[in-house]
Amino acid sequence: MQLSEDDLKRAADLVYTRMPATPQYAWPQLKARLGCEVWVKHENHTPTGAFKVRGGITFIDWLRRTHPDVAGICTATRGNHGQSQARAATAAGLRALVYVPHGNSVEKNASMRAFGAELVEHGQDFDTARVEAFRVAEEQGLAIVPPFHEELVRGVATYAYELFTAAPDLDAVYVPIGCGSGICGTILARDALGLKTEVIAVVAEGAPCARLSVEAGRLVETNAADTFADGMAVRVPVQAAFDIYAKGASRFVTVSDAEIAQAMRVLYEDTHNLAEGSGAAALAALMQEKDAMAGRKAGVILSGGNVDAGVFAGVLTGGI
């Protein structure tokens, strides 16, 4: 998959019919703490509180144009993708059937229902829910929305387009990785704009399938995805995403749940922004590489702020 600058502009024009661009700020307190200029891309400021909303807009637009007779969609999620698809599908007059694993975020579930999703709990993790969603979609004649698709990537790449347009001289940008749409969109936007910025993939210690796959040169599934950063809690990597990040990411940084929790506290202290676990992972990686990045210019993707109140209260008081 490739994107041109014109592709990015067209995607952005479409996205802006349903939401405004999000801000990116160079926060002085983060600079003082880390010794480098830190630009935070605030995808927690979207209408669903996460970057996934962009892909929902572009995917449903594509679906309505190419499959005008479809009655609805079916997908699986840990929350942010589901909110995105429910919001866009409902606005287009489509049914939105969304599968989540048991024990999923209570507040993300409530948000998905509020955006119009018919929510079904199935299985113990995202990948099990995904298999069931695919089965039910075929059974009921619904359009499946996979976790990775060119139209999703085209949409989410617009956040990177905004960031790189505002700060084209970034030395590096840190991006959390789950199934891979965010990091792939960032890589493709960088390449389309002809920039030299390093794109650094950030994985959770308990969900390392993307890093293990790149190290092995082939897809590697894990037996579990054990992290409270639910947007990164993936066991089964996606080939199409792997094909992009295996070549386009400069390196992988692995962060622990404790490091993610500390980054959540830092973001709140220094910027007064809420970040869910996945949203703070990029900063956690930059904090880990603080010495190597001294005096340089870094971007971090705050990919979402949808953290349950009880979880965040525990993090603020020093927990995980």
Q: At what angle do helices 239-248 and 181-192 cross, to 10 degrees?
A: 50
Chain segment 39-60, per-residue pLDDT in tens: 999 999 999 999 999 999 999 9
| Secondary structure E strands in the chain | 24-26, 37-42, 72-76, 95-100, 118-121, 143-145, 172-176, 198-204, 251-255, 297-302
pTM higher than 0.85, yes or no?
yes
Strand partners, 173: 199, 299
Pair of tokens at residue 167:
């700060």
Mark the ranges of the chain whose per-residue pLDDT is less than 50: none
pLDDT tens-digit readout, 3-35: 999 999 999 999 999 999 999 999 999 999 999
Q: How far is CA 77 from CA 21, 102, 186, 195, in A?
A: 24, 11, 21, 32
Q: Give the DSSP per-residue string, 211-261.
A: HHHHHHTS----S----S-GGG--SS--HHHHHHHHHH-SEEEEE-HHHHH
The reported pLDDT for the residue numbered 320 is 84
